[in-house]
Structure formats: C-alpha cells, structure tokens
Structure 1
Amino acid sequence: MGTNPKTTLYVGGLEENVTEPVLHAAFIPFGDIKDVSMPLDQSTQKHRAFGFVTYLEKEDAAAAMDNMHNAELYGRVLTVNYAQPIKIKGGEQGWASQPVWADADTWFERQQQEEELQRLQVEHEATVKAAEEEGRKKLVQAREGETEDADDKMDPMAKAEAEALEENNA
C-alpha cells in the first residue's frame, strides 16, 4: 500500500513565493517526480514554508537530497530530509505537521463548512435580488396608482404586457 517513504523528501525553509511548480522545477533534474505538495495554512492560504517531493525512484530521491540539502532557493537555505509518514488510524493519511487529532476528519468538515457557507451566500444573494425585484414592482404599481398617465412611465415591456392583458380582457 502506501508509498515507500524513501522516495518522498521533506523540503523545509521555503521562501513564501515558492510554488509547487517552482519546487517541481528545482527537483526535476534528479529524476522523475511523481508528486509535489505544499500544505497550505488554512487561515492565510499560504504554504507553511515546507513541502514534499515524491520521486518514482528512491535513487533519484537520494541524489536530490544529497544535492539539495543546504542548497539555496530564492535566497533561502533548504533543509531536505526523507519525509516521515505519520501513521494515523492505521494508515498513511499524508504528511502533516499538525497533531494527529487535528487531521483527517477536520479537513473534510472544513470543506463541507466552506461549501455550506458558499451555498448560504448564494441563497442570500438570490433572496436579496428577489426582494429588490419585488420592491421595484411595488414602486411601479404605486406610481401607476398615483398618476393617470402611468403608461408613459412604465418600461416598454411592462407597457406591452399591460396592453396585451387589456386586449385579452376586452
């Protein structure tokens, strides 16, 4: 099952502008990369100054570690070690720098909460729009009641609809 930990490198000391493509480019000279990941801080949406590079071959990972440990990237000195898998609930749930209890379930809960918030926001916007529409209709109706020549103030569509209604009723 899980990946051989000897193919995954922990890369620490990343400058904040380093992105996954940058990390990939820095480590690809040593061999084929299977995966690059940089965990984001949920509150800032920035990475937490470390990432992981997984090679297909453990020899490539070893070469990358030998060459990239203490190397500079964007002016910062890198720390490159073999990543240690954290065993959670009997499986490898990825590489976390957080305590075990803060891991798997909460990420899904967080995703669900974000989706729920987005859904509520969309519903709220729809409600506000509907209320605004309703308000406009009431304004138009109020104006019609006030003035005899309301036809001139109605927009062409509403006027056409009103005339069609009158013809149908006639």
Structure 2
Amino acid sequence: MANPKTTLYVGGLEENVTEGVLHAAFIPFGDVKDVSMPLDQATQKHRGFGFVTYLEKEDAAAAMDNMHNAELYGRVLTVNYAQPIKIKGGEQGWASQPVWADADTWFERQQQEEELAKLNAEHEATVKAAEEEERKRAAKGDVEEEDNDMKDDPMAQAEAVAVAQQSS
C-alpha cells in the first residue's frame, strides 16, 4: 500500500464481490489507481475485505465519507483509511529477522542516551558551580585582580566570555 491517506480498507464484502464490482462501486468518487482483494490460500476466495487506492487523497476522503456503512450486495461496508503493512521482525522490518535480533542495538542506544544525560547533568553542575564561584568573587571584590590576570591569558578571557553568555 502506498499512502495511507489515499488507500482505503473496505471490509464486510460479500463473497460474490469481485475487484471489478469493487472498482465500479468506488469510481464515482475519483480516479481509482488500484483495487486489491487478498485471497484466502485454502479456498482461493477473497477474505471479505479489500483495498481501494485513489490517485488523490481528497477522492479517498470523499469515498470513505460516502461508502462507510453503505450497502453492497446486501452487506454493510466498513470503509476506513488503510493501515500500513506491519512486518514482524526487527527495526529494519525484515521478515526473516527475529524480533529480538535488534535487542543489542536497542540496549546500546539506551546506554548511550543514559551516558549523554549524565554528561549533560555534570556539565550543568560544573557551569552552575563556576557561576556561583564568580558571584562569590564579585561579592568580595576579587574581580579586579582577576581582570588583570585575564589580560595575559587568552583562555581565561574565553572562559569568562562563555560564563557571561551562559548567565544572560
């Protein structure tokens, strides 16, 4: 199924309904791109539902509004937007991949996120401590002495600018 906003699920189909009948029932609402009715492998008959794909999402919306709870061959239809196909498997969606195959990558990602959160918390604590130390020095009047030291040290100047920017 292409776009869930252009593909409709049509449920409650009577067993004599064919793709041609379904196409004819939905064509009044716009250009139909595709009609499919999955077959039951044992009986080779459709399974009581189908999918109608329109070229335009507005046509699909109009068909859903008009055909939901409508009657076709004596059966009441259920018409909704189709859900994307969910393939069982890992994050990559491979059907041959077991569900637990990506567990290691998930755990690694969780550990990385926790580590990043710890580093961010440590960084914030360091910045707050530096700001508090700067406030204490300013209160004591030691800032003037530090300004003289910073004239000779470019790294100290850069740190002071960074602290000033973060506090504003």
Q: Shift of residue 3 of structure 1?
A: 1.9
Gaps of 5+ in 1: 94-99, 102-170
Pair 1:32-2:9 in alignment: no
Structure whose CA Rg is larger: 2
Q: Percent identity?
A: 88
Aligned mates of 2:2, 2:47 — CA distance in 1: 23
Look up the match of 2:18: 19
Look up the match of 1:59: 58
Aligned mates of 1:14, 1:87 — CA distance in 2: 23
Q: TM-score, structure 2 length as denominator?
A: 0.52
Q: Shift of residue 28 of structure 1?
A: 0.3
- SS at structure 2 position matched to 1:59: helix
Deviations, residues 133-169 of structure 1 (Å, cap 9, x unaligned): xxxxxxxxxxxxxxxxxxxxxxxxxxxxxxxxxxxxx
Report runs of 4+ in structure 1 exceeding 3 Å deviation. none
| Superposed counterparts of 1:125-144, under 5 Å | none
Aligned mates of 2:3, 2:51 — CA distance in 1: 13
Look up the match of 2:48: 49
Q: Shift of residue 87 of structure 1?
A: 3.2
Alignment: residue pair count: 93
- SS at structure 2 position matched to 1:5: coil
Aligned-CA RMSD value: 2.0
Deviations, residues 106-128 of structure 1 (Å, cap 9, x unaligned): xxxxxxxxxxxxxxxxxxxxxxx
- SS at structure 1 position matched to 2:27: helix
Gaps of 5+ in 2: 97-168
Q: TM-score, structure 1 length as denominator?
A: 0.51
Aligned mates of 1:44, 1:50 — CA distance in 2: 15
| Superposed counterparts of 1:141-156, under 5 Å | none
Aligned mates of 1:3, 1:15 — CA distance in 2: 25
Which amino acid in 2 is paired with 1:34? K
